[in-house]
């Protein structure tokens, strides 16, 4: 059987509730909705982290963040180290298997030489290397006047222009990034359609991550909504339109049947103060995780359970839902299996979900334990049970409870703490979560610290209860 093309689309900080097919009442995402109609919509898709860089590292390596060498948000200055050398990424493995590989959009896994997309399996890269850019100037203002530590020296950060074609800096001043990413992706589809090799095209939009910019034609569509909701709706509408142009381009070339199209958000919605562009100093609630509790940075469901869709018309039945949990680190083994490439040599933490996806109507809920970490928070999901240690709702504030146990089948919003009702289960899951966390800490100390030394941006929090 021939190898399928693979198109991955990642949105940035898009909440579980911020698509119309996920229940958003006030914005429409017709192209994402049609993608879901053509395949499987996940009820339980998870990122491996409630923040950008570790989530992306896991998705691209098939490993937990601590195993992938990226446990925290990576800086965007030009010396920032990122995804370590010597770790095999999904595009690198596919490239070995005969694929052409492209990244269009956001990287956020390191800027320093050796950390960039071309160093990690991408033949071709167009986009930006840091975590955020102004949508029109493509400048990262996030480091302005911050004290940065570069090779043990303290420096004062400045704004940095961040737009690249492979290792060459390029300029598209004044163009809206969401539209540029859509156009560049279509160009790459045209390019690949003219060749004979299968392609892996990784399209990482920064929408709807701050700064909250959208062209007026999109703002005007949502002028009736409160300001903070209106701008998010405008950004998501532009994102959906760009995805529409990409899907139409696949259709134009007759590629849709044999192309896997996969969509996910990298983490839950942001409530960060810096979403505001008018100096407002309160939390931002323009994005929503729907019925879920928590936002970006939280290990409650809203931080890590995200929209997820997969379509592959020649193999995966249309108009399906699956409740089976899938996690970012499952993406690599799933796509390697789809491409007929053996993943055994890569020591992956994720599991291929290909069988579940090609037979979603007979899938059963997976009973494997899944784990997350963020600072001093640690969590575990086992079947319908979810336990969070030091779970936080607001990143600057303390935990809501040291131990929070909930039943996701009956209480998806994690509203009721069952620790006192089910002390034995709480103790068992606590022990399991702490054992996993200790293994990650040990791996970090023995594997990554000797290799990366102080070049890693991760400083260990006191995670013990």
Contact residues: Ca ion, CB under 5 A: 12-13, 52, 266-267
Question: Cβ closer to Ca ion: 75 or 266?
Answer: 266
188 to 177, 195, 269, 454: CA distances (angstroms): 16, 11, 29, 38
- Beta-strand runs (E) in 278-359: 308-311, 320-322, 326-327
> Least CB distance from residue 85 to Ca ion, whole Å?
24
Question: Cβ closer to Ca ion: 231 or 403?
Answer: 231
Question: Cβ closer to Ca ion: 266 or 414?
Answer: 266
Question: Cβ closer to Ca ion: 73 or 427?
Answer: 73
| Residue pair 68/83 in contact by the 8 Å Cβ criterion | yes
Whether the bond between 211 and the residue before it is cis, its omega within 30 degrees of 0, is yes
> Least CB distance from residue 131 to Ca ion, whole Å?
8
Question: Cβ closer to Ca ion: 266 or 349?
Answer: 266
For 374-404, the DSSP string reads ETTEEEEEETTEEEEEEE-SSTTS--SEEEE
Question: Cβ closer to Ca ion: 178 or 324?
Answer: 178
> Least CB distance from residue 10 to Ca ion, whole Å?
9
> Least CB distance from residue 297 to Ca ion, whole Å?
10
Which single residue brings its beta carbon nearest to Ca ion? 52
> Least CB distance from residue 458 to Ca ion, whole Å?
17
Question: Cβ closer to Ca ion: 13 or 301?
Answer: 13
| Residue pair 201/185 in contact by the 8 Å Cβ criterion | yes
> Least CB distance from residue 107 to Ca ion, whole Å?
12
Query: How many residues can be counted in the chain?
Result: 465
3-state secondary structure string, 253-267? CCCHHHEEEEEEECC
> Least CB distance from residue 209 to Ca ion, whole Å?
6
Separation CA 274–CA 211 (nearest Å): 8
> Least CB distance from residue 71 to Ca ion, whole Å?
15
Strand 259-265 with 5-11, pairing: parallel
For 231-256, the DSSP string reads HHHHHHHHHHHHHHHHHHHHHHTT-G
> Least CB distance from residue 17 to Ca ion, whole Å?
16
Q: Pseudo-torsion of CA 17, 250, 109, 14, nearest 10°?
A: -10
Question: Cβ closer to Ca ion: 53 or 343?
Answer: 53
Question: Cβ closer to Ca ion: 13 or 162?
Answer: 13
Burial of 336 (0-12, 13-18, 19+ CB in 10 A): buried
Q: How many CB atoms lie within 10 A of CB 382?
A: 17
Separation CA 159–CA 422 (nearest Å): 51
Backbone angles phi, psi at 53, to 5 degrees: -60, -50
């Amino acid at each position: 059987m021939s190898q399928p093309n693979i198109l991955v689309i990642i949105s940035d900080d898009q909440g579980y509730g911020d698509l119309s097919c996920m229940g958003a009442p006030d914005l429409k995402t017709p192209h994402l909705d049609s993608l879901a109609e053509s395949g499987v919509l996940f009820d339980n898709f998870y990122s491996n982290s409630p923040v950008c860089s570790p989530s992306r590292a896991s998705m691209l390596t098939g490993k937990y963040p601590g195993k992938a060498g990226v446990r925290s948000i990576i800086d965007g200055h030009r010396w920032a180290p990122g995804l370590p050398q010597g770790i095999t990424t999904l595009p690198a493995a596919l490239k070995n298997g005969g694929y052409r590989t492209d990244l269009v959009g956001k990287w956020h896994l390191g800027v320093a030489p050796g950390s960039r997309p071309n160093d990690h399996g991408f033949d071709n890269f167009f986009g930006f290397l840091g975590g955020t850019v102004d949508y029109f100037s493509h400048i990262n203002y996030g480091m302005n006047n911050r004290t940065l530590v570069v090779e043990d020296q303290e420096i004062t950060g400045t704004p940095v222009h961040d737009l690249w074609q492979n290792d060459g800096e390029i300029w598209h001043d004044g163009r809206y990034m969401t539209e540029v990413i859509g156009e560049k992706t279509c160009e790459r589809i045209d390019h690949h359609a003219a060749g004979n090799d299968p392609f892996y095209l990784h399209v990482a939009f920064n929408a709807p991550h701050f700064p909250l910019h959208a062209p007026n034609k999109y703002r005007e569509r949502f002028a009736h909504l409160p300001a903070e909701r209106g701008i998010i709706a405008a950004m998501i509408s532009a994102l959906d339109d760009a995805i529409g142009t990409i899907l139409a381009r696949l259709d134009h070339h007759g590629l849709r049947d044999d192309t896997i199209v996969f969509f996910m958000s990298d983490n839950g919605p942001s409530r960060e103060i810096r979403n505001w562009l008018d100096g407002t100093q309160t939390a931002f609630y323009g994005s929503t995780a729907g019925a879920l509790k928590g936002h970006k940075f939280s290990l409650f469901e809203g931080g890590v359970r995200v929209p997820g869709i997969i379509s592959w018309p020649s193999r995966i039945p249309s108009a399906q839902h699956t409740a089976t949990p899938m996690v970012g680190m499952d993406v690599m083994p799933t796509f390697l299996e789809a491409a007929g490439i053996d993943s055994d040599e890569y020591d992956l933490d994720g599991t291929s979900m290909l069988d579940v996806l090609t037979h979603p109507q007979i899938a059963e809920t997976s009973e494997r334990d899944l784990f997350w970490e963020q600072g001093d928070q640690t969590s575990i999901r086992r079947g319908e049970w979810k336990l969070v240690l030091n779970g936080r709702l607001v990143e600057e504030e303390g935990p809501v409870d040291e131990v929070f146990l909930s039943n996701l089948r009956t209480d998806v919003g994690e509203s009721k703490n069952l620790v006192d009702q089910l002390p034995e289960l709480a103790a068992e899951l606590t022990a399991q979560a702490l054992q996993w966390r200790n293994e990650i800490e040990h791996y970090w100390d023995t594997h990554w610290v000797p290799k990366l030394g102080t070049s890693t941006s991760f400083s260990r929090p006191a995670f013990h209860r």
